[in-house]
Amino acid sequence: MSKSKLEYIWLDGYVPTQELRSKTKIIEDFDGKLESCPMWSFDGSSTLQAEGNSSDCLLKPVAIYPDPDRLNGFLVMTEVLNPDGTPHASNHRAQIDDDDNDFWFGFEQEYFLMDTETDLPLGFPRGGFPGPQGQYYCSVGGRYTWGRDFVEEHLDLCLEAGLNIEGINQEVAPGQWEFQNFAKGAKKAGDELWVARYLLNRITEKYGYYIELHPKPVTGDWNGSGMHANFSNSTLRTAGNKETYDKICEAFRPVAAEHIAVYGANNDMRLTGDHETQSIDQFSYGVSDRGASIRIPIATVESGWKGWLEDRRPASNADPYKVAARIIKTVKSA
């Protein structure tokens, strides 16, 4: 008789930015399949998801991955449900309209590695600032690079867990890094990003670091942190003409405020019109334009207007479920 450790992961009810929560369930003779993961419950009064006099919330397993850091372990991403089985108000995954997985998403997750002793990004000296940005992006060597051991460990764990991580790189500020994930299906892309974030945070516990997803944790002449959303559906992948792309991009213009509302807290500090961003109160799109709200990749144009779009506005602390749901709604409206 074997016993397995199932780490049930969910999003709490904190606003404006939800945090990850998890707890372990021990299962005997578990076969590793999602359908064999039972429903579970938790105390919603401790996560701002219920009142104390009616505190039970349900956890519905929606994705499972091997946990490479635990013996006989599995990572189980879940949705939060009300006691009657309906989606909880904090459950934004359930609001994604992509049951046929026609939408493909690739998220570029930027983040800062912070030192718990100094509350500063790695590479920032106490009481001062490092040299200006420019030398750090995709750098190598101890003069400009900090945290590589951590980042490499995170990458290995994600790959061992079966997450489709497509790359990593150091970003433009000291201690700032990025990883990219991709999935065919909006819910799957969101699941994998959240599990990657979970692993990212869990690893910090043994390094004396923590992860900062605030879009502008360091004031001054530094790029902020984003979560650029690359997306396509069958229309974008097969369009073959500029007019279709223009029509879809224009559909984003009248609902720009609705997108910003779900693209992460404090995003106004990042979307200033500087540092490869468009201003938060403006909307634009253009081919290969990293200063636009939506970039049309040059690869899409060179492929005969068959490809994808990149929404550059989501902040690093945005919920990929919310971002995907809003993008899908706008694209379908076109």
Asked if 251 and 303 touch (Cβ cutoff 8 Å), the reply is no
In this predicted structure, what is the pLDDT of residue 219?
A: 83
Tell me the C-alpha distance between 313 and 279, whole Å.
9
Q: How confident is the model at residue 156 (pLDDT cuts 50, 70, 90)?
A: very high
- Selected residue with higher pLDDT from 268 and 126: 268
Tell me the C-alpha distance between 10 and 80, whole Å.
7
* Amino acid type, 88: H
**Is residue 108 over pLDDT 90?**
yes
What are the backbone dihedrals phi and psi of residue 30, each rounded to the nearest 5 degrees, phi first? -80, 135
Cis peptide leading into residue 66 (ω within 30°): no
Alpha carbon 2 to chain centroid, angstroms: 34
Q: What is the mean pLDDT of residues 267-286?
A: 91
Percent of the chain residues past pLDDT 90, beyond the cut: 92
Beta-bridge partners for 165: 181
**Is residue 76 over pLDDT 90?**
yes
pLDDT in tens, 166-223: 999 999 999 999 999 999 999 999 999 999 999 999 999 999 999 999 999 988 888 8
Q: How confident is the model at residue 269 (pLDDT cuts 50, 70, 90)?
A: very high
**Is residue 101 over pLDDT 80?**
yes
Beta-bridge partners for 121: 114
DSSP state of 152: H
Q: What is the mean pLDDT of residues 114-129?
A: 89
Mean pLDDT of the chain: 96
In this predicted structure, what is the pLDDT of residue 147?
A: 97
Best CA proximity match to 230, nearest among 186, 200, 271: 186
Dihedral (Cα; 89, 90, 96, 100), 10-degree rounding: -100
Kind plus residue range of the DSSP H or E element containing 105: strand 104-115
Dihedral (Cα; 13, 82, 187, 169), 10-degree rounding: 20
Q: Which domains does the chain have, with CATH numbers?
A: 3-91 (3.10.20.70), 104-333 (3.30.590.10)
Best CA proximity match to 47, nearest among 9, 75, 6: 9
pLDDT in tens, 124-150: 988 777 888 889 999 999 999 999 999
